[in-house]
Structure 1
């Protein structure tokens, strides 16, 4: 199995993977075409790789398209798993829509900028002034009910299966749970089976093969907040290696499955070794 990677950091533990700088994609066409898998391309490369060269990419095309912003992912969640999505209003950012959303939502509520990460585009709306400040920063209105929680779950799923997870507890600001915003890890409290089952079903249904899901638990019931196609590995010791192991198993299994339809299903290429 031959792989090329456009992200050296995320494939660090996979030996035998050839690294290509994203900006060298066109000059390295021959190496890309010879590969069985293209790992972690940047978003701007997707059309050329998938539709131009017909290459298999990891993470999956679904992971890129659905995970591109919160609007796309929420609409996918609402279509297939509506009972597990907090009440959310998505509207164009114009005066009429802003006024309508303001009157429909009960304060306090949460407002988000669609293309943001690490909690930087998430706002607690408690007043008209908060609302106006948010509207000045976002291209689209994304308003969501504030769930009664002081922590949430980060669940890592690769190839449709849970790799690991942990609780993220609120930091001193009392709102954000993100580790980058002052939240902290609780890896002693067990992961709720209902949340694990939900994210595995969502991942398989939407073909999300590399995702860090954020899930809120309200009285034992799981709510999907979002997922990150590219997630950090800070939460648990050894998580990076666990993700690499799961990634390798998933790629190898997918490669073997595709080979079953060939005239000669035997793959003469040995599996990629894992760096220790």
Structure 2
């Protein structure tokens, strides 16, 4: 059974929908939730609670905990020696001076929490760009600029890379996000990138994630994990994502 809506069209799975007040579920629904061996798509709210009571979920508790948090993801990549662009997080009034002492223009600045679809990613080319970015609230997440005009989105479900494609930036835009105009291409991906995506997801405890990987200067880098990945790539490939996901669950692959 499921709480979140991703499997709502799968007739073999009972989807209850999200209710922040657990008491709003019927007594029968509460009994099912407490006694079923695993909960599918528990939502970020209930993933914590089911983890505390020892109940397995899909996606995993860790998948939810790292969602849209670049600071936590970067810390994990650094701890586990996962190849990742050189990244530093800066706090406080001396951030500007410390950033300029450690990074040369151009470099990348990102809003570290809650941003998606490339909206919180900035190319910092001048001191004025940096000042404008530092006027935003929160810590400064600064990353080295790597020269590439395309990257790879690799969807990992369970323990396998189940779908992948290239994202190619349009024109002079440095962002490859499909939501920002990036082009989807299905040219074959390097085996090394697919293996790196699988290993990264397994190391981090993520079992439903879009891993973004770039090849720059002859080296593969994991850029980030996207737990709320888009499905336009599936659509362009002629795959019904919800049907695909339903089959993955029913066939025991996740």
Same fold (TM over 0.5): yes
Q: Is contact 2:107-2:145 (8 Å) kept? A: yes
Q: Is contact 1:163-1:243 (8 Å) kept? A: no
Q: Is contact 2:3-2:16 (8 Å) kept? A: yes
Q: Is contact 1:172-1:182 (8 Å) kept? A: no
Task: Give the Å deviation of 1:175.
Answer: 1.5
Structure 2 distance, partners of 1:247, 1:218, is 35
Identify the residue that residue 38 of structure 2 maps to in structure 1.
37
Deviations 1:140-187 (A, max 9, x none): 111011111001000000112110100001024511111111111111
Task: Give the Å deviation of 1:13.
Answer: 5.1
Structure 1 position 18 matched with structure 2 position 2 = no
Deviations 1:16-52 (A, max 9, x none): 212222125513322311322212222222332221x
Structure 2 distance, partners of 1:14, 1:154, is 25
Task: Give the Å deviation of 1:138.
Answer: 4.1
Structure 2 distance, partners of 1:208, 1:136, is 33
Report the 3-state secondary structure (helix = DSSP H, G, I; strand = E; otherwise coil) of the residue aligned with 2:32: helix
- How many residue pairs get aligned? The number is 244
Please list every run of 5 or more consecutive structure 2 residues that lacks an aligned counterpart in the other structure. Answer: none
Identify the residue that residue 61 of structure 2 maps to in structure 1.
61
Identify the residue that residue 126 of structure 1 maps to in structure 2.
125
Identify the residue that residue 180 of structure 2 maps to in structure 1.
181
Structure 1 distance, partners of 2:139, 2:206, is 25
- TM-score of the two chains, using structure 1 as the length reference: 0.82
Task: Give the Å deviation of 1:106.
Answer: 1.3
Structure 2 distance, partners of 1:210, 1:185, is 20
Please list every run of 5 or more consecutive structure 1 residues that lacks an aligned counterpart in the other structure. Answer: 255-276
Bigger drift between 94-103 and 24-33 goes to 24-33
Structure 2 distance, partners of 1:239, 1:208, is 23
